[in-house]
């Protein structure tokens, strides 16, 4: 796993957290989330339990999107060992979010520059 950090919390049931970090944005601003997974008895024929235990630089709607993504990926991969797939999907999502943040910042910067120019006229 690149950019991720796994901590096993318990063996029975298997519970662990994985911290997933985006590629760095500007000013090293990364977005990050820590996911907690618990295997149910029939895993992987049952989806694991998952929750977001902490996050950094993410907005509420981003968190909701990540939960939806996990849900969808877990359903699609039922019967297969899926943690790697789920984490990879979240990783991609975080990278997208960083790109959106960058774009938004650039827009705001351009907007400010335009306003400054207007004032000079």
The reply to whether the predicted model has a pTM over 0.85 is: no
Structure tokens at 107: 């827009």
> Could you read off the pLDDT of 84-121 as tens digits, one per residue?
999 999 999 999 999 988 898 899 999 999 999 999 88
User: What is the domain range of residue 58?
Assistant: 6-120
Quick: pLDDT tens for 6-19.
Answer: 889 999 999 999 99
Specify the DSSP class assigned to residue 28.
G
Structural domain total, the chain:
1
**Structural domain contains residue 98:** yes
What's the confidence (pLDDT) of residue 6? Answer: 83
> What is the rounded distance in angstroms from the CA atom of residue 55 to the CA atom of residue 32?
5
In a domain, 1, yes or no: no
Q: Does residue 38 fall inside a structural domain?
A: yes
Q: Is residue 35 part of a domain?
A: yes
Beta carbons of 53 and 17 less than 8 angstroms apart: yes
CATH number of the domain enclosing 104: 3.10.110.10
For residue 51, the number of C-alpha atoms closer than 13 Å in the C-beta half-sphere is 4
């Amino acid at each position: 796993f690149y950019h991720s950090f796994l901590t096993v919390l318990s063996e029975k049931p298997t519970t662990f957290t994985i911290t997933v970090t985006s590629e760095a944005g500007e000013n090293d601003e990364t977005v990050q989330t820590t996911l907690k997974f618990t295997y149910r008895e029939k895993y992987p024929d049952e989806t694991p339990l998952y929750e977001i235990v902490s996050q950094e630089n993410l907005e509420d709607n981003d968190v909701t999107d990540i939960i939806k993504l996990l849900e969808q990926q877990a359903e699609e991969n039922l019967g297969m060992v899926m943690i790697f797939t789920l984490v990879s999907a979240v990783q991609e999502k975080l990278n997208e979010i960083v790109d959106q943040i960058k774009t938004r910042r650039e827009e705001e910067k351009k907007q400010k520059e335009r306003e400054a120019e207007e004032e000079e006229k």
